[in-house]
Structure formats: structure tokens, C-alpha cells
Structure 1
């Protein structure tokens, strides 16, 4: 995979093709060194994602941010994750992300 700018990733994240959006989420999670921006994109994927897989990966990526960067914006993320806990299709991933946050954020 080649290098992508934030602008290119924004376009890919909004793609109607879920595989393009998923690839963009994976790329930004592991290749962009801006945890605050990544978290914002994850929240957008969770709240605006038309596909359950995209929404779920957004949640999983939050756990990766906690693990890799040892920082999250609790004020922004916790309400989103708490809402996801009430969604049967997303609750397992939300629980995993919350466990990662508990484990890796001091």
C-alpha cells in the first residue's frame, strides 16, 4: 500500500465502497501519527458509517489507538462507546475497546 495523505484518507473513508472505507481506517490506524485525528475519524466511522463492518472497525481502531499511543480523548470517545454498548451488533467490540482503554491508558 502506498502512502496516503489525510486528505486522501478523508475521501476514502467517505467512499460508498465499504472495502475502501475499511482499508482507509486500517491505514490511518497503523500509519498516521496523530491520535486525536484518528479518534475523530473513528468516531465519524462509528456514527456515520452506513455499514456495520465499518462501524465496528471504527470501534476496534479506538482500542488500537489506546494501545499504540497510550492516549485517548475520553470526553469525546466515552459517550460514543457507551452508546455502542447498547447496540447488540456493536456491543462486543465496544467492550473490547473499553478493555483496551482500561489496560493501556494510565
Structure 2
């Protein structure tokens, strides 16, 4: 699966799959761009959806709004790609993010919630 993200300049950047070591290192680097790319890579390429979900739960409360927003968005990716989430853990986080001070986080929460509802057939 080709995974891309839109950059601020209007161009797209491919998100490649990372090995476990690079993912772990980047998630713990403290550098928001590395964390964001690791979250996206992991959500698109890791087969263990629960592991990705737990990592996203952890990063969904990050102080950096870019990290927080992407962590929330990745819940929607997981719903679409794997068709599974622990809704009792994820839905409260996504719903809370709908009221985040950051427009970036709020918009990704809206997208994630739409994907979760659609791909997990919630009404």
C-alpha cells in the first residue's frame, strides 16, 4: 500500500515502512517530525493493530499539536486498514479531541471519527 502525507507546500511525501528499531527510536526521539512520520508509518505498515493503537493512545496526549493530531488521525487509519479498534479506549480520546484547542487536532479528530464510524459500521 502506498502511504503519503500532504506537506505544507502542497506536495506529497511517501511514508515508507520502518523497521521496529527505527520506529522505536523515532517515537522516542522527542522530534515532532520523526514522531509524526513514525506514527504514520506504523499505522500504515504494521500488522499488529493493537500495538499501533496503544502507541497512538500514548501520543494522543502529546504537548505538540502535530503529534497529537496525527496520533488521533491514525485511529481512523487503523479502522480503515484493519477494521478493528478497542472502541472503549479510543472513542473517548477521539471525542475529547473534537474540542482540542488546536484546529489541526480537531480536524483530524473529525476525520478519524468519520472513518471509525464508517469502517467499523457504527451508527
Shift of 1:2: 6.6
Match 2:48 to one of 17, 34, 53: 34
Where does the alignment leave 5 or more consecutive residues of structure 1 unmatched? none
Question: Structure 1 length as normaliser, TM-score?
Answer: 0.88
Shift of 1:10: 2.8
Question: Deviations for 1:59-100, whole angstroms, at most 9, x for unmatched residues?
Answer: 111111000001111011011112111214122211111110
Question: Taking structure 1 as reference, are residues 61 and 2 closer, same or farther at Cα in structure 2, changes over 3 Å only?
Answer: closer
Select the structure with the greater relative contact order (CA < 8 A; seq sep ≥ 6): 1
What's the RMSD between the two structures over aligned residues? Answer: 1.6
SS where residue 84 of structure 2 aligns?
Answer: coil
Pairwise mapping of residues 51-90 of structure 1 onto structure 2 (< 5 A)?
A: 51-89=64-102, 90=105
Cα separation, 2, equivalents of 1:2 and 1:59: 19
Where does the alignment leave 5 or more consecutive residues of structure 2 unmatched? 1-15
Q: Higher strand share goes to which structure?
A: 2
Q: Higher helix share goes to which structure?
A: 1
Return structure 1 stretches of 4+ with deviation > 3 angstroms.
none
Shift of 1:11: 2.9
The structure with more radius of gyration: 2
